[in-house]
Amino acid sequence: MRKIILAAIAVLAFGGGGAAQSFPSRPVTIIVPFSAGGPSDAMARILAERMKASLGEQVLVENVTGAGGSVGVGRAVRSPPDGYTISFGHLGTHVANGAVYKLGYDLVTDLEPVALLPSNPMIIVSKKAVPATSLKEFLAWLKAQPAAPIAGTAGAGSGSHIAGLYFENVSGIKLQYVPYRGTGPAMNDLVSGQIDMIVDQTSNSIGQVRAGNIRAYAITASKRVESASDIPTVDEAGLPGFHMTLWSGLWVPKGTPKDVIAKLNMATVEALNDPAVRKQLENLGLQMPPKDKLTPEALGAWQKAEIAKWWPMIKAANVKVD
The span from the CA of 126 to the CA of 315, in Å, is 27
Q: Mark the segment that binds ligand MLT (CB under 6 A) among 16-24, 104-112, 178-186, 295-303.
A: 178-186
Q: Is 201 in the site for ligand MLT (CB under 6 A)?
A: yes
The span from the CA of 239 to the CA of 205, in Å, is 19
The only residue of 159, 285, 289, 300 in contact with ligand MLT, by rule CB under 6 A:
159
Q: Is 289 in the site for ligand MLT (CB under 6 A)?
A: no
Q: Could you give the 3-state DSSP secondary structure of residue 87?
A: strand
Q: Name which of residues 74 to 133 contact ligand MLT (CB under 6 A).
A: 92
Nearest position to ligand MLT, beta carbon: 38
The only residue of 29, 40, 126, 171 in contact with ligand MLT, by rule CB under 6 A:
40
The only residue of 6, 7, 30, 34 in contact with ligand MLT, by rule CB under 6 A:
34
Q: Could you give the 3-state DSSP secondary structure of residue 262?
A: helix
HEC per residue, 288-309: CCCHHHCCHHHHHHHHHHHHHH
Contact 285, 206 (CB under 8 A): yes
The only residue of 54, 70, 158, 233 in contact with ligand MLT, by rule CB under 6 A:
158
> For ligand MLT, which is the closer residue by CB, 98 or 159?
159
> Is there a cis peptide before residue 24, judged by omega within 30 degrees of 0?
yes
Give 33's contacts (C-beta < 8 A, 6+ positions apart). Answer: 40, 63, 64, 65, 69, 70, 71, 72, 73, 87, 88, 89, 93
Q: Is 177 in the site for ligand MLT (CB under 6 A)?
A: no
> For ligand MLT, which is the closer residue by CB, 11 or 314?
314
Task: Compute the least distance from the CB of residue 154 to ligand MLT, in Å.
Answer: 3
Residue ranges binding ligand MLT (CB under 6 A): 34, 38-40, 92, 154, 158-160, 182-184, 201, 204
